[in-house]
Copies of this chain bind each other. A is one copy, B any other.
């Protein structure tokens, strides 16, 4: 999946992508899963509040089955083949036993969960794995099924596994849906830098010699 970006960026970021075809035979062992979570754990957060938690299911276990049952129809096509699916939660209220009565603000808790998931994703790339995040699942069913307390909001789905390269796919494999193959092969697109970074005023392109 190597590619070139101009300007250059680190290969871990450059080669990261969100695959839709995972290797349905790959499994994550304890030490791999621990490293992924350790990366999430050391992510920065507002005032070091660490307002993130993760529900974790590995293919074959009860948590995984419960997560798969809550997936949207589209995500049920590809996500179960990943080795694990995590659900990211963000804090939205005080813990009942918190003497401080909760955080001073919850404005940064989704932001910080996003950072934590990003660190997990970069760690996955460094281990030869890939992450595909998604929002399409029954959030209420997850909250009920895992007894998530009301001060935690179910936010994101995070599928982790080994990308299945085209050469290893068989056309009659039930795990390789053609729509997912096409989705993967679409060129990755992003808004150009000069529509993203501004100086002086919103909308005024920052000049760094790489406007497109």
Is there contact, CB below 8 Å, between B55 and A35? no
Specify the chain B residue showing the minimal Cβ separation from A3.
Answer: B42
Pick the contact of A111: B40, B114, B210 (CB < 8 A). Answer: B114
Interface centre among A13, A14, A148, A191, by most B CB within 10 Å? Answer: A13
Q: Complex: how many Å from CA A135 to CA B89?
A: 21
Is there contact, CB below 8 Å, between A199 and B61? yes
**Which residues on A are within 8 Å of B, measured CB to CB?**
5-10, 12-14, 16, 18, 30-31, 33-35, 37-44, 46, 48, 50, 52-57, 61-63, 86, 89-90, 105, 107-108, 110-115, 117-119, 121-123, 126, 133, 135, 146-149, 152, 155-156, 188-191, 193, 196-203, 206-210
Specify the chain B residue showing the minimal Cβ separation from A86.
Answer: B197
The answer to whether A13 and B123 touch (CB under 8 A), given A115-B115, A198-B54, is yes
**In the complex, chain B residues whose CB is within 8 Å of the CB of A61:** 199
Q: Complex: how many Å from CA A40 to CA B12?
A: 13
Q: Complex: how many Å from CA A55 to CA B105?
A: 23
Q: Complex: how many Å from CA A57 to CA B201?
A: 11
Is there contact, CB below 8 Å, between B38 and A202? no
